[in-house]
Structure 1
Amino acid sequence: MKIELFQHNRPFTVGVTGGIGSGKTAVTNFFASKDITVVDADIAARVVVEPGKPALAGIAQRYGPDILVNDNLDRRKLRTIIFDDADERKWLERLLHPIIREQIVHELSSAESSYAVLVSPLMLETNQHELVDRVLVVDVPESIQIERTMARDQMTEEQTRQILNSQIQREQRVAKADDIVDNSGSLDQLHHSLEKLHQFYLSLA
């Protein structure tokens, strides 16, 4: 599907992004509670490497059968490979990003809510920002990102910092935002801020 055609066949779309551990899920859960369609780029990325999909076959061909567990991708092993080798990370991005984009386009085109939300941790690092009308950045201090990620994913601080360093810097992300929501406070505070944004997006849709 050509992007020009896609732009005329989707609802007004808000792109939600933020660094690891910023709380993007809490934000998208709020929008989903308002019956807004949420398309998750991470889920799209998992769909395209399901058993039987060409992308998974390409990954297995490059890294061998040990990259699979019961015919499924061993994500932890793949993550170790790409964080240890920048060239391998670039190879994987060249393979997956166009396929993930196609999946996202398909899901957004099927949205029937007043507006749609696309959530992606790499929206500003990839061309996914071209698929949205506004970018909403979920912002928290780096110390909170590290604390939340280590607790949630059982990762070491070194592993967490590797991921942080592979993503766009906080200052750059904020500079590219149309809207910013601070998620360093309570859930009630977050919802209060998001309700205002929800009404604003309804007025734009």
Structure 2
Amino acid sequence: MVVVGLTGGIGSGKTTILNYFHSLGIPIYIADDEAKALMNRSKVIRRKLIVLFGEDAYENNQLNRPYLSSRIFNDKHLLAKMNAIVHPKVASHFKRWLKKQNSDYVIKEAAIIFENNLQNQYNYIITVIADQHLRIERVMQRDNVSMEKIKSIIKNQWSDAEKVKHSDFVIENNDIDEAKIQAFKIHKALLEKIHQ
């Protein structure tokens, strides 16, 4: 099974592009969503996160995301420890999910493929890019957060130029109709490569 990674900086519009591929019949796996679900569902993860962050890691039996965000935001060491707990579980969940799929390829969306040096896990990588002012605008509307916070997140991610250098395909998502045309061309190109 061909696994295509889809990545891009915050606010680039990955979800919109992902949904478009899904509408073409391509199975999609959103690593972040699965990680969040597993952090709530898995007793092993819960136990380890409470050891790492203390009892405040969970509130009313649910992951206390604002608390965790505030703890890991400027602490790369703590973030790495959390990822070491969560990422292996997501990886094995993805393997199980993959076995159930029946299509030419699947797309796994992950925001920090390159940052975590995970590019070898994919046959191809699509990077979604967009102008920074648009990205900031989208995230401010979506998450109701300050421009400063978004800029610091952008600063912690690889630049679009860096990601593009390491990608097989690029979608420029400043205009959704244009982006969908690009995505459809990539879909066709992937099918051709797979069936060669």
For Structure 1 versus Structure 2, the TM-score category normalised by the shorter chain is over 0.9
* Mapping of residues 92-107 of structure 1, within 5 Å: 92-107=82-97
Question: Which residue of 80, 95, 108 maps to 2:98?
Answer: 108
Alignment correspondent of 1:121: 111
Question: 1:52 offset after TM fit, Å?
Answer: 4.3
TM-score, normalised with respect to structure 2:
0.92
CA RMSD of aligned residues (A): 1.5
Q: TM-score if structure 1 supplies the norm length? A: 0.88
Question: Which residue pairs with 1:8 in the alignment?
Answer: none
Per mean C-alpha deviation after superposition, the further-off stretch among 171-180 and 90-99 is 90-99
Q: Secondary structure at the match of 2:128?
A: strand
Q: Does 1:168 align with 2:158?
A: yes
- Does the 8 Å contact 1:12/1:115 carry over to 2? yes
Q: Offset at 1:129?
A: 2.2
**Stretch of structure 1 that moved more, 29-38 or 163-172:** 163-172
Alignment partner, residue 195 of structure 1: 184
Distance (Å, rounded) in 2 between the aligned partners of 1:92 and 1:74 = 14
Q: Please name the residue that 2:143 is paired with.
A: 153
Work out whether residues 13 and 116 of structure 1, in 8 Å CA contact, stay in contact via their aligned partners in 2. yes
Partner deviation per Cα, 1:127-159 (whole Å, 9 max, x = no partner): 432221111000112222111111111111111
Distance in 1, Cα, partners of 2:46 & 2:117: 22
- Give the AA of the match of 2:137: E
Aligned residues: 194
Provide structure 1 residue ranges, at least 5 long, that are not aligned to the other structure.
Answer: 1-10
Instruction: Check conservation: 1:39, 1:117, Cα contact below 8 A.
Output: yes
Identity %: 27
- What does residue range 57-76 of structure 1 map to in structure 2 within 5 Å? 57-76=47-66
Task: Give the Å deviation of 1:96.
Answer: 1.9
Equivalent residue, structure 1, for 2:9: 19
Q: Distance in 2 between matches of 1:35 and 1:45?
A: 24
- 1:9-88 mapped onto 2 (5 Å cutoff): 11-88=1-78
